[in-house]
Amino acid sequence: MSTAFFPLSKVIYFLITPSNFFIFAVLIGVLLHVTRLRRTGTALALLGATGLALGGLAPLSEAVLLPLEQRFPAFPTDGPPPTGIIVLGGGIESGLSEARAQVIVNDAGERPIYLADLARRFPTARIVFSGGSGFIGGGISEADIVSRQADTIGVPRTRLILENRSRNTRENAIFTAALVLPKPGERWLLVTSAWHMPRAVGCFRQAGFTVDAFPVDYRTRGWGDLTRLNGFASDGLLQLDLGVKEWIGLFVYRWAGYTPDWLPGPEAAAGSANR
C-alpha cells in the first residue's frame, strides 16, 4: 500500500463506515426535506434510520462477523510445540500507554494477553510482536510499548523479537518474515483476532510464511447469535463497523494481490511448509 494511498484509505473508510454512513444519510435527508428534493430527503432519512435500527439492534453484525470468526477453528491443545509465536498489534492504545506510562489495551486486548500466556506455555518458542504506530511520520509504535512494559505484560524483554515498522496487516507479514527468516519444517503460531485471521493468514501465505492460526478476541458465541437481538444499539453498530471494515479489507487486499484468496481458510495450509 503506497504512502499516498494509506491516509486516503482512512478517509474513505470513515465516510463509508456503516454507522457514519447511516448518520450522514439521516442528516442529509433532513436537510433535503426542506428543499425541492423533499422525496429524496425522505428516502435518505428513512434509509439511515432503518440502517441504524437494523445494524444496532438486529443480529446483522453477527451475520457479518460469523463467517470470518468461524473460518478457522480454535487452535488444538495437542501437537508438537511451536518454533515461534507471532502476535499482531492492534490491541494496545500506544498513545495513551505512552502518556500514562502504563499498558492500556482496547477491545482487542486479548492479543497481548495471549502473548504472555503462550510465552509461558512454550518457554522455548521464539516470541515475535509485530505492531507499528499505524500513522505516517509519527506516533510511538505498539512494539515500543511492549518493549517498555514487558515486565508488566509478564514476558522477559530478552525473549521478545519486536517488529515496529508495520502500519497494516500486509506489512506485519512482510516485515516479520524478513525479521525471523522461517525455515522449512518450522511451526509458527499466528495470534490475532478471530475476525481478522483470514486476512492475516492470507498475507503471511503471500509473503511465503506458513503459519498456524491461533484465533483470539472473539466477538460472537457461534451461529446461535443469529437468533439474538442486541441489548444496546451501540454494541451492534460497533460490531457492524468492525465486520464491514474487515470484509472491505479482504476485498481490497485480494484485488491488490496482497492475499492469494478472497477468503483464506485453513484448507490451503494443509500439508504445506514454509517456502
Q: What is the pLDDT of residue 138?
A: 57
Q: What is the pLDDT of residue 270?
A: 40
Q: State the residue for C-alpha cell 503459519.
A: 211
Q: How many CB atoms lie within 10 A of CB 98?
A: 16
Round to whole Å and give the CA distance between 155 and 273: 28
Q: What is the pLDDT of residue 12?
A: 73
Round to whole Å and give the CA distance between 176 and 198: 17
Round to whole Å and give the CA distance between 105 and 93: 6
What is the Cα Rg of the chain in Å?
20
- From first to last of the 275 residues of the chain, give the pLDDT tens digit: 445 555 666 677 777 789 999 999 999 999 998 888 999 999 999 999 999 999 999 999 999 999 999 999 998 877 789 999 999 999 999 999 999 999 999 999 999 999 999 999 999 999 999 998 755 555 799 999 999 999 999 999 999 999 999 999 999 999 999 999 999 999 999 999 999 999 999 999 999 999 999 999 999 999 999 999 999 999 999 999 999 999 999 999 999 999 999 999 986 444 344 44
Round to whole Å and give the CA distance between 88 and 115: 9
Q: Outline which parts of the chain fall under CATH 3.40.50.620.
A: 75-218+264-269
DSSP state of 217: -
The SS3 call for residue 181 is coil
Round to whole Å and give the CA distance between 148 and 153: 10
Alpha carbon distances (Å) from 113 to 96, 108, 263: 18, 10, 27
Round to whole Å and give the CA distance between 71 and 158: 34
Round to whole Å and give the CA distance between 237 and 243: 10
**Which pTM value belongs to this model?**
0.88
If we measure between CA atoms, which residue out of 25, 41, 43 comes closest to residue 33?
A: 41
Q: State the residue for C-alpha cell 428513512.
A: 46
CATH number of 75-218+264-269: 3.40.50.620
Q: What is the pLDDT of residue 135?
A: 55
Burial category of 64 from C-beta neighbours within 10 Å (exposed 0-12, middle 13-18, buried 19 and up): buried
